[in-house]
């Protein structure tokens, strides 16, 4: 998501300024081009030359150029236009308060006013300062202006105290930056995407059910990837123990019948991704009491559940994109291609539980993305695979 993007990194005068050096590196590793603006007090923590040599660009501190012969009086305007995203990390209470009041007394704060791009603020300070009423008020204000704020992490602080105020992990900052950039320019911007995930449970009696080992991880990764591409995502999931993705509307269901009812209410979505491992059968009779082994029969009569993907395929609205999964143990491509045409899906993501690092419960996957005229293989973490799949389908 950050590949080829232009980031202005604003560094202010807190001890976490040294971490901004590594953050710059992480942005570059993700493929972004980075320019750095520092407040004068940030230069007391890290030398200008460090950022200049890593970013391979001049570092701007004051609005006025250092070279008195220079006519480049409008750097803040130029940088504000150049950036796809302006990330201020760390952001001290002082700079936060200037931003909240529109003060523009240095290159960083002036660029905030000039920026056409979204702005991400990572407030970083001592725990007591972070909890202070003025900081709370200023954070509220800047969010009302439409700037994004990533809350600080908790832990050991430079003061020797424990509390909330640390610069978040780089991964979290990059995730947030990707989410912001993705939601602005994503190919799914303005689109409604429904993702189903996890297993279903078909109860035999109050203490027994038929299910499968689906963890929901792949479906959750698909939902997050769709969100990063700018979609308005609704996630419908069965019983799972993995944490729910942040910032995504979720509905939990238990049985295949409940899943069907919920999906039907969203059947007009622009994109539907059926990642749920739906039980194909349900007991014909569900007992309201626990069946005792002495009185119970040794066989259970089952009835077929509705094939939700096939139903969606039959009732597909024009321009809707229908994506299904196929979990196979043999003849992966052949069986997946059959499901594609039989269920009238546009894409099938096929994976084989016999492949190492693929299938239920693991964090990685190896899939074949199949349409009626293409087949592409992807592997990596479930998050990476989800991004690659949606990138292939929706990025032109």
Binding interface with ligand CTP (CB under 6 A): 256, 274, 276, 278, 280, 305, 307-309, 324-327, 339
Tell me the closest approach of the beta carbon of residue 36 to ligand CTP, in angstroms. 46
- Kindly report the number of other CB atoms within 10 A of residue 23's CB atom: 24
Tell me the closest approach of the beta carbon of residue 248 to ligand CTP, in angstroms. 19
Tell me the closest approach of the beta carbon of residue 268 to ligand CTP, in angstroms. 17
Q: Where are the alpha helices (DSSP H) in 90-239?
A: 93-101, 107-114, 127-131, 133-144, 170-185, 217-228
- Torsion over CA of 195, 197, 202 and 203, rounded to 10 degrees? -110
- Kindly report the number of other CB atoms within 10 A of residue 24's CB atom: 23
Q: Where are the alpha helices (DSSP H) in 211-345?
A: 217-228, 256-265, 308-314, 332-342
Q: Is the peptide bond before 145 cis (omega within 30 degrees of 0)?
A: no
Tell me the closest approach of the beta carbon of residue 302 to ligand CTP, in angstroms. 13
Catalytic residue among 94, 212, 335, 344: 212
Tell me the closest approach of the beta carbon of residue 380 to ligand CTP, in angstroms. 20
Q: Which of 99, 124, 101, 121 is nearest to 109 (CA)?
A: 99
Q: Positive or negative CA dihedral for 217, 220, 224, 226?
A: positive
Tell me the closest approach of the beta carbon of residue 327 to ligand CTP, in angstroms. 4
14, 45 contact by CB (below 8 A): yes
CB of 38 or CB of 276, closer to ligand CTP: 276
CA–CA gap between residue 85 and residue 143 (Å, rounded): 16
CB of 13 or CB of 238, closer to ligand CTP: 238
Q: What letter would DSSP give residue 60? A: B
Is 351 tagged catalytic?
no
Question: Which residue is listed with tokens 């007992």?
Answer: 287
**Interior/surface letters 156-173, b for 16+ CB within 10 angstroms, e for the rest:** ebeeeeebbbbbbebeeb
The catalytic residues are 212
């Amino acid at each position: 998501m950050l590949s080829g993007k232009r980031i202005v990194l604003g560094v202010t005068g807190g001890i976490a300024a040294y971490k901004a050096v590594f953050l710059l590196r992480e942005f570059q590793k993700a493929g972004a081009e980075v320019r750095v603006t520092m407040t004068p007090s940030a230069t007391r923590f890290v030398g200008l030359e460090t950022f200049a040599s890593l970013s391979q660009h001049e570092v701007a501190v004051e609005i006025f150029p250092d070279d008195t012969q220079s006519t480049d009086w409008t750097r803040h305007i130029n940088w504000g236009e150049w950036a796809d995203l302006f990330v201020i990390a760390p952001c001290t209470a002082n700079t936060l308060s200037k931003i909240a009041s529109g003060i523009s007394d240095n290159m960083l704060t002036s660029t905030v006013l000039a920026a056409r791009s979204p702005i991400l603020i990572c407030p970083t300070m001592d725990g007591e300062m972070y909890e202070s009423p003025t900081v709370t008020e200023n954070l509220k204000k800047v969010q009302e202006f439409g700037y994004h704020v990533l809350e600080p992490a908790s832990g050991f602080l430079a003061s020797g105290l424990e509390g909330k105020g640390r610069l978040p992990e780089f991964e979290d900052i990059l995730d947030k930056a990707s989410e912001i950039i993705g939601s602005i320019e994503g190919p799914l911007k303005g689109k409604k995407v429904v993702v189903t995930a996890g297993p279903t449970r078909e109860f035999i009696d109050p203490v027994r059910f038929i299910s499968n080992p689906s963890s929901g991880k792949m479906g959750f990764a698909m939902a997050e990837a769709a969100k990063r591409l700018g979609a308005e995502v609704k996630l419908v999931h069965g019983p799972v123990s993995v944490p729910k993705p942040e910032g995504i509307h979720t509905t939990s269901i238990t049985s295949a019948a409940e899943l069907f009812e919920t999906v039907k209410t969203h059947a007009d979505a622009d994109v539907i991704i059926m990642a749920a491992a739906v039980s194909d059968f349900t007991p014909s009779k569900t007992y309201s009491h626990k069946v005792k082994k002495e009185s119970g029969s040794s066989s259970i009569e089952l009835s077929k559940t509705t094939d939700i993907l096939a139903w969606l395929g039959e009732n597909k609205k024009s321009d809707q994109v229908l994506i299904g999964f196929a979990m196979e143990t043999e003849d992966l491509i052949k069986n997946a291609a059959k499901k594609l045409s039989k269920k009238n899906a546009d894409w099938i993501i096929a994976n084989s539980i016999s492949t190492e690092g693929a299938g239920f419960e693991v964090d990685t996957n190896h899939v074949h993305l199949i349409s009626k005229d293409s087949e592409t293989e992807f592997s990596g973490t479930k998050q990476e695979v989800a991004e690659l799949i949606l990138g292939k389908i929706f990025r032109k």
